[in-house]
Structure 1
Amino acid sequence: MSNLKKHFFHISKSWFSVCTFIFLLAVCVGLVIHITNKKENATCSNSEAPIVSNGNVSEESGSDIAHAENYVPTEEDVLAARQQATEGMSQQQVERLTEVIKAANLWLEQRYMDENLFEKLSDPNSLYWNYFHQTGEIQIGWAVDGSIDIDAVCKREKLSLEEFYAKYGTPVVATNFYDADGFIDLLSEMKSSVQNEDLKSELQDLIDQTKQAKETHRMEIVNDIYKKLHDLDYFLLRYGPIDVAKYVKDDSTVSKYYGTLSFYQ
């Protein structure tokens, strides 16, 4: 689907901020986070949503899936595609685009790896969707003292989950400077500096998907946004297996290609 006004990746304008991670740590130490279901007539029992796999979520033909799984662009492929994609752009424009895409990718990647982002967004009523609708201080969940037995309290006091959190929960908040509309504006700004039609199309896909995610609250769309940003970052504007792998202990993520880019099809 992190932040003081100084960005985690030192970008003056980005949808994402490091304050999210800081606020979560500050609020959640010693607490158990429970993201509210918000559905009418919800009970305290809330079944756990399935965790999204690292494979493509959107429907694809068998040949598309096989191609995505078997083909990984080489460094030579990426350098050639990058030259093509950034033709006509100034060095400053290329660097700006690279930093924006990198920041967006890494923010989503961290939320995916560390916070079960897609599991939370699988509930269309999850407070994590506030990232798409609000800026400033937003609520992304509820924290409850770990000593409280939620099911027992709800049963004893005949409370719905929503009523329980209103009575016993503490809001988990984060600072969000860019909602979906803000991210769309940022991508549109990046697109205006691009001359290559294929790269323009990739950025337009992200714009369209962000709008759809905001309107529909479909987790699968956010998952597709993540994959597109991942491929743009690690297999076009940078080359993950070399540029990034040396900085991480496990290079499986930065070396994985999801097959979303038209440059290699």
Structure 2
Amino acid sequence: MEKLQAALAKARAQREGEPVTRATRPELSARAKSRQVAETEAVDLVWGAVPLFEPTSRRLQQSRIFAADASIEGTHFDILRTKLLLEMRRNNWKRIAITSAVAGSGKTTTACNLIAGFGRQPEVRGMLFDFDLRRPSVAKFFGAKPEAGLVDVLEGKVPFEEQAVRLHPNTIVSMTNRPLRDPSQLLSKQRTTEMLDNIQDTYQPDVMLFDLPPGLVSDETRAFLKLVDAALIVAASDSTSVAQVDEVEREVSQYTNVAGVILNKCRFLDDGYGYSY
């Protein structure tokens, strides 16, 4: 009855031209505000403890990492970044894997451009992890030579804040410094799951990107996909067949959501990138 009376009063006010009062969200209490500020400051401190690393402009150009600055070359990566972020917010996703059907499709280039692009959005905290443990290349792309690698973190030998680097105040990259012969065993351990959960809880990133091996030639990709919310699949128009794209999409969908397929190296596009969602 009270709801009906409130609805009638609202309709009457609108009909008579009276302003309609809208329900407002209750303000946070002083204690809640203080706690929120303290939590934000704590997260800022742990991010600030990660050392900064600044790649040279020459290295970024050589690695085709164009999204570090606003440019014509980086436009398509900016579009991809924005669309991916909107999709993640809509689905409440945090962890995104980036894989491909076969090697040489451009998945690492895509991953590095995405994290570089997020660096230009200071309201978004982003992380990139090089989980292509057999053929790691993120460090090479950025021109870094880390003394310790992601494997050392996963094995508990080095704290994450000492191994990772910040490209920007709001982006962190964890690189792999040496190939691992049998990564499947490491990725299947409960310790790896717990380590990623701990990093997410401590640093509270908005986006966690994982550069994974090609899905059709690597067993560890299947082992890791269950730890992410969704995956982007990168295909090269000159070397990836439609059948391979279909196959890797089926494989990925068995373990996680498919966020989209990126068609790379398109000769009919000026920049060589296309996207499908």
Which structure is larger by alpha-carbon Rg, 1 or 2? 2
Q: Sort the TM-score into its range (normalised by shorter chain).
A: under 0.3
Q: Given the two structures, how large is their TM-score scaled by the length of structure 1?
A: 0.24
Higher-strand-fraction structure: 2
Higher-helix-fraction structure: 1
